[in-house]
Structure 1
Amino acid sequence: MERVKRNERIGVIMQTLSRKPSQVVPLSYFCELFGVAKSSVSEDIDLAQATFERYGLGEISTVAGAAGGVFYRPKPKKEAVEDYLAGLCRRINEPSRILPGGLLYMMDFLFNPVDTQTMGEIIAAGYAHVEPGAVVTMETKGIPVAMMTARFLNVPLIICRRDNKITEGAVLTINYVSGSSDRTIRTMSLAKRLVSGVDKALIVDDFMRGGGTAKGMHELMAECGIEVVGTAVIIETEEPAQKLVTGCRALLKLKSVDEEHSAVHIIPAWNI
């Protein structure tokens, strides 16, 4: 086998780990791939880790033991997160986003792969330490960011629905009260097979006003015997100040939408 240079090995290691976030890759995999000893691979990983840290690309950790190996987790720098969220605020603060009724057009960044990956990476980094066993969201607009969050955490995505499908098998359904002023009774369903073996969940959604949907997901997880270890949303409104769930973290805070004067005021809210 042709000898592989160290810089080539480090490049392959960084690419392999970054494409498999939070997945343990055995050292033996790299040893066989490059035809080198474990000691050489360990030195390569140390250099890759230093590079990740220097440029704020994430962190590489090792797992000891026979089933051990090495894995990558995103850990964006505070400055990078602040710059991204500030830029996102500038985009959302454009008057052209205001829709009739004081609503905001958000579909372009909620379904943009670059944005959803960046937001998912930020949220995943903020909750990796609590080790959720799944990411839970409500259909439909929260799915892309929740999916990216689940990918970076290497856990399954669980989608709660407003109705159930025959193809989902047995479902658990609850009624919950919306967080809006009309206090509407809504329905939320979840396929039981999705939560098999899950003991801890991270809730991720796109928007929170009163917190009714998030509270419904909390209640649905409780019915399944699953502990909710965190709740994160992309945008949270400033009013009402008292939400139906506590401890929620938001990437952005919507302070006001003035339809009459075509003004939007949204600010970064995520604390590293």
Structure 2
Amino acid sequence: MKFRRSERLIDMTNFLLHHPRQLIPLTVFAERYRSAKSSISEDLAIIKEVFEERGIGTLQTVAGAAGGVKYQAFVSKDEARSFISELCETITDPARLLPGGYLYLTDILGDPMIVQKVGKMIAAAFIDKDIDVVMTIATKGIPLAYGVANYLNVPVVIVRNDNIVTEGSTVSINYVSGSTKRIQTMVLSKRSLSEGSKVLIIDDFMKAGGTINGMINLLEEFQAQLAGIAVLVEAEKAEERLVEDYLSLIKLSNVDLKQKQISVSEGNYFSKGNTSYS
């Protein structure tokens, strides 16, 4: 069956979106659609133009016998700023206040559309980084980690606070929680992480950064490398920040339980992330 051009464009777009950061040789498309490589190249040029105009992503072309095309996630600056603004408005709802000054974020982390958008934004911010694995700690960071990993096309590694029989032998370390100053334990299966892996750490909320710092120390036990750190929300007023180089979408500046007010603002996303926006 020979595809019409309109059919090729639709199917090719779908194929690329489902294979982010994967180099696809032109011969794959030529054989898939029984078309000449010259026709495939013209189709890809159209897709690239639309992707970039609509803020969907970009296509990178690699020349040579071993070359091909690769889809990279991309978010326009206006789209990113609009999304963060909407998210800030959502988080400032007084109904989110919990005893002790904590915020209820479970509904946000359980919303597939929000998680997908956050994942794409974080992945786009690390577009130029070489990343093999996305790491997070159970449990609230898991949806975000999968959202990011989807666009980076890499596996997710989940650090836990206790052993699980089905994960086999593990490596464990003790770390000091930045907020409670308590000594806690984190555990990771030995099979989860290969030596030399480049790891992007993801978390939903960071106060002092004790948990993230613990994951960084855990990487050393596996002789893995830290590729970056990204969080959905950071607390601005942390007494002693244990992590310095990180990306955040939202900054929590104040929680007033008496007045039932939550003050948030844009994080450092636009100053720390990739700056090649349209």
State the TM bucket, normalised to the shorter chain. over 0.9
Which residue pairs with 2:223 in the alignment? Answer: 225
Task: Give the whole-Å Cα distance in 1 for the aligned partners of 2:102 and 2:142.
Answer: 20
Q: Could you list the runs of 5+ residues in structure 2 that have no partner in the other structure?
A: none
Q: Is the deviation greater in 168-177 or in 232-241? A: 232-241
Of 247, 255, 268, the match for 2:245: 247
Conserved? CA contact 1:134–1:198, under 8 Å: no
Conserved? CA contact 1:133–1:198, under 8 Å: no
Which residue pairs with 1:199 in the alignment? Answer: 197
Matched, 1:262 2:260: yes
SS of 1:246's equivalent?
coil
Which residue pairs with 1:81 in the alignment? Answer: 80
Task: Give the whole-Å Cα distance in 2 for the aligned partners of 1:203 and 1:150.
Answer: 11
Task: Give the whole-Å Cα distance in 1 for the aligned partners of 2:61 and 2:187.
Answer: 39
Which residue pairs with 1:188 in the alignment? Answer: 186
Question: 1:89–1:170: structure 2 CA closer, same or farther, 3 Å change rule?
Answer: same
Task: Give the whole-Å Cα distance in 1 for the aligned partners of 2:189 and 2:67.
Answer: 33
Conserved? CA contact 1:76–1:122, under 8 Å: yes
How far apart are 1:197 and its partner, in Å?
5.0
Correspondences of 1:144-223 after superposition (within 5 Å): 144-180=143-179, 182-196=180-194, 198-223=196-221
Deviations 1:54-113 (A, max 9, x none): 111100112344443222111100000000010000011111111122111101111111
Aligned partner letter, 2:107:
D
Task: Give the whole-Å Cα distance in 1 for the aligned partners of 2:122 and 2:62.
Answer: 23
Deviations 1:127-165 (A, max 9, x none): 121111111100000001111111111111111000111
Matched, 1:7 2:3: no
Task: Give the whole-Å Cα distance in 1 for the aligned partners of 2:206 and 2:56.
Answer: 30
Task: Give the whole-Å Cα distance in 2 for the aligned partners of 1:200 and 1:35.
Answer: 38
Deviations 1:19-55 (A, max 9, x none): 2211222322221222111111011101110111111
Correspondences of 1:46-85 after superposition (within 5 Å): 46-85=45-84
Share of identical aligned residues, percent? 41
Conserved? CA contact 2:73–2:127, under 8 Å: no
Correspondences of 1:99-118 after superposition (within 5 Å): 99-118=98-117
Task: Give the whole-Å Cα distance in 2 for the aligned partners of 1:159 and 1:63.
Answer: 33
TM-score (norm 2): 0.93
Conserved? CA contact 2:194–2:224, under 8 Å: no
Which residue pairs with 1:29 in the alignment? Answer: 28
Task: Give the whole-Å Cα distance in 2 for the aligned partners of 1:66 and 1:167.
Answer: 44
Which residue pairs with 1:39 in the alignment? Answer: 38
Conserved? CA contact 1:158–1:195, under 8 Å: yes
Aligned partner letter, 1:191:
S
TM-score (norm 1): 0.95
Task: Give the whole-Å Cα distance in 1 for the aligned partners of 2:253 and 2:119.
Answer: 23
How far apart are 1:5 and its partner, in Å?
2.8
How far apart are 1:267 and its partner, in Å?
1.1
